[in-house]
Structure 1
Amino acid sequence: MVNSFYNSKASNPNILLKLDLEKVYDRTEWRAAYKILNLMSFPEELIRWIKCCIEEISFSCYFNGEISRKFKSFRGIRQGDPLSPYLFIIMEEAISVMTRDYCSKKRMTPYHIKDTTISHQLFADDIVFAIKGNDKSCKGLKKILENYCAATGQKINREKSEIFFPAKCQPDRKHRICSYFDMKEGSFPMQYLGSLINPRRLNSSHQNRLCEKVNKKVDFWAKQLLSQAGKSTLLNSVVSSIPVYSLSTSWVSEEHYWNYVETKLGVSFSYKETWKDGDWLREDKGYEKESGEKLIAFIANSLWQLWRNRNVMKFKEKTWGIKTMFSYAFEETMQYGGMVGKNRERSGSSMHNRNRYQEDQEGNCNDGCNVFYCDASWKNGNSAGLGYLIAKQGKWVLAGMAKGAADEPMLAEAIAMWYVLDNLRKKGWMNLIVRSDCELLIKMLNGESRSHWKICNLINKISRMKDVGVVCGWEYIKREKNNEAHNLSRLGLTEYLAYARCSSTGTLLLIEPTGLMVVFSLYPHLGQRGVQIVQVHARKGKSMYEQGVEDVEDAFSFFMK
């Protein structure tokens, strides 16, 4: 196109007008934007929302060391606002519509090349018009620009706008057209959208502008190195690169590592989520062999998810969000933390059994729907406790608790529900009505709210429990109706309780690994924590009940002796 334009020999040659607008965001008139949105049949409700986003903004100035009172503007859209580019592009549609209208009414003649007609090219605020260089077309284009600027508040930057002519164009015609538009004549190569556009081949001389920029940078750096400040900058650069070698040869502290990463790369959600306090599970450190096998399964599962997602994206042409993929790895990492935490005693059987689901002595309940109550408690840090109860025909038939790991309450709730339901599924439990006091989690499971990226994989796994018949419904209940499960989850945060059973009398039996058995009541009004010790049995010596142990804290102290 440019080659044909430049070599044209017509008596009335074509012209290219490259337009530059001044401060396009700051000069935007709100009324014009609303009018164009109405003409383009945007919904009234959407226009009202856009008005709220634009007009409900105030500014303040920092003047003489003090912040002034806030004031509002009456035009302009904000830089950096995701809405601003869309509004500006929609407003530019006005100039495009006017140009097509003038061309259709023969008030302006566009540029023709063979069977193609080109009148204008728009990309954000980079605008190029291609018209016939006669008086009628020039008057029509000037009228379009005047109407557009008057309606939208935009202003043409005459100093940066340029008009390009063919090589055979007469100088007097060039001068007359430039004077009419009050713009200067441009010369090829023309820079548009960061690229050089030339009717002929580009040679090395056309890259002089790029070479000049590089030379300025090199000269600036060289001058800086000659000064004391430059030497200091160079020294800091060399010193800051030392941790790279240190990280590759030795294991440095977590704080030092993340300070370096944040400085160089910035903070990403994936960095710190996968860096968790914990030790590697090793068989020679006292952990049972089964735990090590589970670690292998975790790693294999993570690799399988990556391979599966890659195949889905390649063969089924489906995209997979980075946050969704990371959710799988994040979940497996949190399960590592649930097995062992930092500075924890290496007790193979007690630690492993404390997190295991215990065999049910009462049998399974597959007739009708059983009510499943679940809750989780969370401490600042990485500790979480879960508690659950199952009721059949108004009586407790199973209860339990465990200690796990989670870095926030919502994740603890999801892990608790998945952990228990997965074990109940393996034991043959079916038709459970799941009740929880975590309203957001229930909304996610019912599809009423979007899943957070940290738990989206867990939400999918829990939802599949309904497909296999383990769960027949999700229900939200208030905290006061879920006190029993909540109290069990708080007890699950301790180091000394292992698992629980419900007796026929409605009491809860908590069995400690060393052989102590404590009987708690499940009625929340009887104790400060919602539970109360009724009696304690021990293999040897006097029971805690005989020694005057009356509350939960004393019971825990007794366990520690």
Structure 2
Amino acid sequence: MALKIDTEKAFDTMEWSFLLNVLCLHGFGPTWINWVSQCISTPTFSFLINGSPFGNIKSSRGLRQGDPLSPFLYIIGADVLSRLIQSVESLGSLQGIKISPGYPQISHLQFADDLLIFSKANPTNAATILDCLASYQSWSGQKINYSKSGVIFNKNTVGQTSANLCHLLNLKKASPTTKHPGLPLELNRAKSSSLDLIEKIQNRVAGWKTKLLSQVARITLISNVAASIPTYTMSSLLLPKIICNKIDSTLYGFWWGAGLRKNHMCLKSWKSICQPKSYGGLGLRRTLDTNYALIFKLGWSLAAEEDKACVSLLKSKYLKGVPFM
């Protein structure tokens, strides 16, 4: 089974005393810890009432979102939970899952405040996981957001077993659309029905007032905002061509102002627009070409970055001792 754990107001509930103690245990000096303490404890907050700031409230815990230091401090604090899970796994109290016979068990994956915990579907593992989460909550103040958390079971798990474990964990079964961190945990054979990239881009483009934008401004929005929305997904999955074509069609229509008037004329093809500037294009990239380039980066990692955990996993599962190149 896999537990998708989401933390409730993750940055706002981190206890300062816990974080400072963790920094001390990591070997940070007292001067540095004092600087960090001053940074996280001195900000004050006000409320906007009828457009005017009101009040001057000083918080007693939490990390200010938007502060460039906050993500690093949060990761240092959340690493305690990762080490706690590793310790119970090493003691044999938690059994992770094996993706490949030649690769160690995987007990959890952590990305900022999103956590996936893997284990065999039995009450012993469930109780161990609850103990770890309860201990971490008592130390750090981080609580589980039960409305956004859930459990995924293997298709071979008996229905009554999954129901009992959900009751024990106080979690519901996760829906197929649940994401971690930005990809669905389950993909249908038709990827186009599992991914909402087209809707995201269409909604973003629809919010821009093209009547008030020059074509230079549209190019900037396409290259810096709209075209970057599917980047993470494209670095992990090879998208169907139908999705790539629909994304390109949406961006192409925005570039020419499609929808503003019935009889709009496109004087240049999208393929020509996506040519390099030295060849008369505008330097944009077609979605399919970008997808191929990002996937090829994964191939480069397989060939040149053998020390990465994900590379070792992929080689163990798919190559099985055969050299990549």
Tell me the TM-score normalised to structure 1 length: 0.36
Question: Match for residue 123 of structure 1?
Answer: 111
Question: Match for residue 275 of structure 2?
Answer: none
Question: Match for residue 151 of structure 2?
Answer: 163
3-state SS, counterpart of residue 191 of structure 1:
coil
Looking at CA atoms only, which structure, 1 or 2, has the larger radius of gyration?
1
Q: What is the CA-CA distance between 1:186 and the residue it aligns to?
A: 2.0
3-state SS, counterpart of residue 7 of structure 2:
coil
Do the aligned partners of residues 26 and 170 (structure 1) sit closer, same or farther apart at CA in structure 2, a change above 3 Å counting? same
3-state SS, counterpart of residue 4 of structure 2:
strand
Find the aligned partners of 2:204 and 2:114 in 1 and give their Cα distance.
27
Question: Match for residue 144 of structure 1?
Answer: 132
Do the aligned partners of residues 181 and 234 (structure 1) sit closer, same or farther apart at CA in structure 2, a change above 3 Å counting? same
**One-letter amino acid matched to 2:212:** N
Do the aligned partners of residues 123 and 65 (structure 1) sit closer, same or farther apart at CA in structure 2, a change above 3 Å counting? closer
**One-letter amino acid matched to 2:119:** I
Do the aligned partners of residues 58 and 189 (structure 1) sit closer, same or farther apart at CA in structure 2, a change above 3 Å counting? closer
Match among 51, 66, 76 for residue 62 of structure 2 = 76
Find the aligned partners of 2:108 and 2:194 in 1 and give their Cα distance.
26
Q: What is the CA-CA distance between 1:132 and the residue it aligns to?
A: 1.4
3-state SS, counterpart of residue 98 of structure 2:
strand
Question: Match for residue 97 of structure 1?
Answer: 83
Point out where structure 1 has 5 or more consecutive residues left out of the alignment.
1-14, 222-229, 245-259, 265-561
Percent of aligned pairs with the same amino acid: 32
Q: What is the CA-CA distance between 1:58 and the residue it aligns to?
A: 1.8
Do the aligned partners of residues 153 and 112 (structure 1) sit closer, same or farther apart at CA in structure 2, a change above 3 Å counting? same
Question: Match for residue 47 of structure 1?
Answer: 33
Match among 95, 103, 106 for residue 109 of structure 1 = 95
Question: Match for residue 29 of structure 1?
Answer: 15
Question: Match for residue 236 of structure 1?
Answer: 212
3-state SS, counterpart of residue 11 of structure 2:
coil
Question: Match for residue 310 of structure 2?
Answer: none
What per-residue deviation string (whole Å, max 9, x for no partner) do you get for residues 399-446 of structure 1? xxxxxxxxxxxxxxxxxxxxxxxxxxxxxxxxxxxxxxxxxxxxxxxx
What per-residue deviation string (whole Å, max 9, x for no partner) do you get for residues 66-120 of structure 1? 5434231110111111110011000011101111111122222222342421111
Do the aligned partners of residues 136 and 167 (structure 1) sit closer, same or farther apart at CA in structure 2, a change above 3 Å counting? same
Question: Match for residue 161 of structure 2?
Answer: 173
3-state SS, counterpart of residue 92 of structure 1:
helix
Match among 192, 199, 220 for residue 180 of structure 2 = 192
Find the aligned partners of 1:47 and 1:142 in 2 and give their Cα distance.
31
- The answer to whether the 8 Å contact 2:188/2:194 transfers is no
Do the aligned partners of residues 71 and 163 (structure 1) sit closer, same or farther apart at CA in structure 2, a change above 3 Å counting? same
What per-residue deviation string (whole Å, max 9, x for no partner) do you get for residues 315-363 of structure 1? xxxxxxxxxxxxxxxxxxxxxxxxxxxxxxxxxxxxxxxxxxxxxxxxx
**One-letter amino acid matched to 2:80:** A
Find the aligned partners of 1:235 and 1:190 in 2 and give their Cα distance.
37
3-state SS, counterpart of residue 148 of structure 2:
coil
Find the aligned partners of 2:176 and 2:212 in 1 and give their Cα distance.
45
Q: What is the CA-CA distance between 1:198 and the residue it aligns to?
A: 3.9
What per-residue deviation string (whole Å, max 9, x for no partner) do you get for residues 162-200 of structure 1? 211111111111111111112111244653232244477
3-state SS, counterpart of residue 143 of structure 2:
coil
Do the aligned partners of residues 47 and 217 (structure 1) sit closer, same or farther apart at CA in structure 2, a change above 3 Å counting? closer
Matched residues, number? 219
Find the aligned partners of 1:188 and 1:62 in 2 and give their Cα distance.
39
Question: Match for residue 61 of structure 1?
Answer: 47
3-state SS, counterpart of residue 184 of structure 1:
coil
Question: Match for residue 210 of structure 1?
Answer: 197
Do the aligned partners of residues 133 and 107 (structure 1) sit closer, same or farther apart at CA in structure 2, a change above 3 Å counting? same
Q: RCO greater where, 1 or 2, for CA within 8 Å and sep 6 or more?
A: 2
**One-letter amino acid matched to 1:171:** G
Q: What is the CA-CA distance between 1:135 and the residue it aligns to?
A: 1.4
3-state SS, counterpart of residue 81 of structure 1:
coil
Do the aligned partners of residues 173 and 83 (structure 1) sit closer, same or farther apart at CA in structure 2, a change above 3 Å counting? same
Question: Match for residue 87 of structure 1?
Answer: 73
Which of the pair is proportionally richer in strand?
Answer: 1
Do the aligned partners of residues 87 and 118 (structure 1) sit closer, same or farther apart at CA in structure 2, a change above 3 Å counting? same
Do the aligned partners of residues 66 and 189 (structure 1) sit closer, same or farther apart at CA in structure 2, a change above 3 Å counting? closer
What per-residue deviation string (whole Å, max 9, x for no partner) do you get for residues 382-410 of structure 1? xxxxxxxxxxxxxxxxxxxxxxxxxxxxx
Question: Match for residue 123 of structure 2?
Answer: 135
What per-residue deviation string (whole Å, max 9, x for no partner) do you get for residues 491-511 of structure 1? xxxxxxxxxxxxxxxxxxxxx
Point out where structure 2 has 5 or more consecutive residues left out of the alignment.
222-325
3-state SS, counterpart of residue 132 of structure 2:
helix
| CA root-mean-square deviation | 3.0
Matched, 1:182 2:170: yes
3-state SS, counterpart of residue 94 of structure 2:
coil
Do the aligned partners of residues 216 and 236 (structure 1) sit closer, same or farther apart at CA in structure 2, a change above 3 Å counting? closer
Find the aligned partners of 1:143 and 1:44 in 2 and give their Cα distance.
32
Q: What is the CA-CA distance between 1:210 and the residue it aligns to?
A: 3.5
